[in-house]
């Protein structure tokens, strides 16, 4: 094992070390190689260490036709960003994370590492914590890309429990799944608001999830909890837990490593900029342990994509620092909340819809799901495409409705079309 990997591992408590995959144990950030030598040469009058091209005036070399299209200083666009991410953005995101999750208080958490958005962050987490055949626990209604990331990308096994029971989140299902199976290592994925259902747990359910994880850790399980917060903040009802599960888990137990996966993609409507973050927390963590996890994350990023887009990070940093940022965000939230309320209104004003399809619990996010009754969801989807100029996603016997991408004025027609298509398919059977 490389000495830098051994050094990083030495700063991690035994229970956290036991959660690392073989690759996770062996990965390190090459701080004493080319990057270290380049750092030592920084500020020297003649610096021929950097693997980019500079103009004769020392600024980044760039094509004029490209540079003129970007109203950002060349130094914040064209050079490589650090594999950890831009320092100012990392610090600002951590500050924003605390503001959005006030119950975190001042408890220690790591400095976020920038990834190429959330899918990449999940993949890096898989690199660090998943060996082939490791089980990954999640509800049975989950984002389909987890299969590519965890199963195909890292040869892990997805194991599920029913998402809902009695109209709420199946906390007991998770608790039972944590206790099942051999060995002491557990990897759990939590995703609120959930894709595809658009459900966020209540405060009681959130604390129940925490209690189930702590009970499993007390029983000797060592647990990685990947907290996929892609849709964070988009909660539209009272009585719903408004903070991240990271708030409840970052200091919950020495045997629980909370891994917060978040970013600008969905939360700040910046899908194509591809900027995400990995942040860590566990009870009793020392600064050196957080630095070790940051180093391993940045080493995995460097070995995978080198670094996330410098331009994207600079654009987001400028946006987050703007005085108008909160007003901009409230405006877009209001649009999403209006669409959510219109969806709810459609069910309230059309009781006949319950004859042919039912809505699963939803209260947040970009999506909601309906379950066609006594007809095949894929057949309904095809009918909607062919006869109603309407597109939905069919998955697990459900139809996922992305009200995020359907203007408010189309929502009444959308659900009327679902109603008609379900009746058409039933009549044809």
**Per-residue pLDDT tens for 356-393?**
999 999 999 999 999 999 999 999 999 999 999 999 99
Per-residue b/e over 40-66, b at no fewer than 16 CB within 10 Å? eeeeeeeeeeeeeeeeeeeebebeeee
Q: Hey, where are the domains in the chain? A: 3-29+83-321, 326-428
Average pLDDT estimate for 208-217: 98
pLDDT of residue 33: 75
SS3 (DSSP) at 99: helix
Beta-carbon contacts of 38 under 8 Å, excluding residues fewer than 6 positions away, are 49, 50
Q: Name the token pair of 244.
A: 């991240």
The number of beta carbons lying within 10 Å of the beta carbon of residue 306 is 12
Long-range Cβ contact pairs of 64-72 (< 8 A, separation 24 or more): 70/311, 72/311, 72/314, 72/315, 72/318
Beta bridge partners of 276: 115, 263
- Alpha-carbon distance of 337 to 341, in angstroms, equals 6
Instruction: Please choose, from the candidates 297, 189, 178, 197, the residue with its C-alpha nearest in 3D space to the C-alpha of residue 245.
Output: 189
Domain 326-428: which CATH class? alpha beta
With a cut of 80, say whether residue 68 has pLDDT above it: yes
Of 340, 387, 326, nearest to 368 by C-alpha is 340
CATH class of 3-29+83-321: alpha beta
Report strand pairing: 398-402 vs 393-395. antiparallel
pLDDT, tens digit (0-9, with 9 covering 90-100), for 225-255: 999 999 999 999 999 999 999 999 999 999 9
Confidence band of 50 (pLDDT split at 50, 70, 90): confident
Going by pLDDT thresholds of 50, 70 and 90, the confidence category of residue 181 is: confident
Q: How would residue 413 be classed by pLDDT, with cut points 50, 70 and 90? A: very high
Q: Is the pLDDT of residue 41 over 80?
A: no
Average pLDDT over the chain, rounded to whole? 96
Task: Provide the pLDDT for residue 48.
Answer: 84
Q: Which token pair is 364?
A: 């947040």
How large a percentage of the chain has pLDDT more than 70?
Answer: 100
Residue 269: left (phi > 0), alpha (psi -120 to 50), or beta?
left
Give the Cβ contact number of residue 39 at 10 Å.
Answer: 12
Per-residue confidence at 404, pLDDT binned at 50, 70, 90?
very high
Query: Which pLDDT belongs to residue 42?
Result: 83
Residue 214 has pLDDT above 90, yes or no: yes
Q: Strands of 145-205 (E only): list them.
A: 157-161, 164-165, 168-169, 185-191
pLDDT beyond 80 at 36: no
Q: How confident is the model at residue 44 (pLDDT cuts 50, 70, 90)?
A: confident
pLDDT of residue 196: 98
Query: What mean pLDDT comes out for the span 142-146?
Result: 97
Residues 6 or more apart whose Cβ sits within 8 Å of residue 248:
103, 206, 207, 209, 210
* pLDDT score for 35: 76
Using alpha carbons, select from 155, 125, 87, 130 the residue that is nearest to residue 297: 125
Do the domains at 3-29+83-321 and 326-428 have one common CATH topology? no
């Amino acid at each position: 094992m490389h000495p830098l990997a051994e050094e990083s591992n030495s700063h991690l408590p035994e229970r956290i070390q036991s959660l690392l995959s073989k690759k996770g144990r062996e990965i390190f950030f090459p701080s004493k190689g080319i990057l270290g030598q380049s750092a030592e040469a920084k500020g020297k009058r003649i610096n021929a260490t950097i693997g980019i091209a500079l103009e004769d005036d020392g600024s980044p070399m760039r094509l004029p036709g490209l540079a003129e299209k970007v109203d950002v200083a060349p130094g914040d666009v064209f050079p490589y960003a650090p594999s950890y991410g831009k320092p100012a953005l990392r610090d600002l995101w951590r500050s924003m994370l605390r503001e959005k999750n006030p119950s975190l208080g001042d408890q220690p958490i790591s400095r976020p590492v920038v990834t190429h958005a959330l899918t990449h962050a999940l993949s890096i987490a898989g690199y660090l914590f998943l060996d082939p055949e490791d089980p990954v626990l999640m509800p049975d209604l989950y984002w389909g890309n987890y299969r590519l990331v965890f199963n195909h990308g890292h040869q892990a096994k997805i194991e599920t429990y029913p998402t809902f029971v009695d109209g709420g989140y199946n906390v007991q299902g998770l608790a039972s799944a944590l206790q099942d199976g051999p060995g002491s290592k557990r990897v759990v994925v939590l995703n609120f608001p959930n894709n595809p259902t658009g459900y966020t747990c209540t405060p009681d359910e959130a604390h129940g999830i925490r209690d189930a994880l702590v009970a499993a850790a007390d029983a000797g399980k060592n647990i990685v909890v990947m907290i996929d917060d892609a849709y964070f903040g988009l909660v539209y009802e009272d009585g719903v837990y408004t903070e991240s599960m990271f708030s409840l888990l970052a200091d919950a137990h020495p045997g629980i490593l909370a891994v917060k996966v978040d970013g600008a993609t969905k939360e700040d409507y910046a899908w194509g900029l591809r900027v995400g973050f990995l942040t860590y927390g566990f009870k009793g963590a020392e600064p050196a342990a957080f630095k070790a996890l940051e180093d391993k994350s940045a080493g995995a990023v460097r070995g995978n994509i080198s670094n996330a887009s410098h331009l994207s990070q600079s654009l987001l940093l400028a946006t987050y620092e703007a005085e108008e940022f909160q007003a901009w965000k409230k405006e877009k939230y209001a649009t999403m909340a209006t669409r959510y309320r219109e969806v709810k209104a459609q069910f309230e004003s059309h009781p006949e819809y319950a004859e042919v399809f039912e809505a699963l619990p939803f209260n947040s996010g970009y999506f909601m799901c309906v379950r066609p009754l006594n007809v095949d969801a894929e057949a309904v989807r095809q009918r909607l495409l062919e006869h109603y100029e309407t597109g939905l996603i069919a998955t697990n016997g459900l139809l996922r409705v992305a009200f995020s991408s359907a203007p408010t004025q189309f929502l009444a027609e959308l659900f009327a079309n679902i109603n008609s298509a379900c009746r058409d398919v039933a009549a044809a059977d």
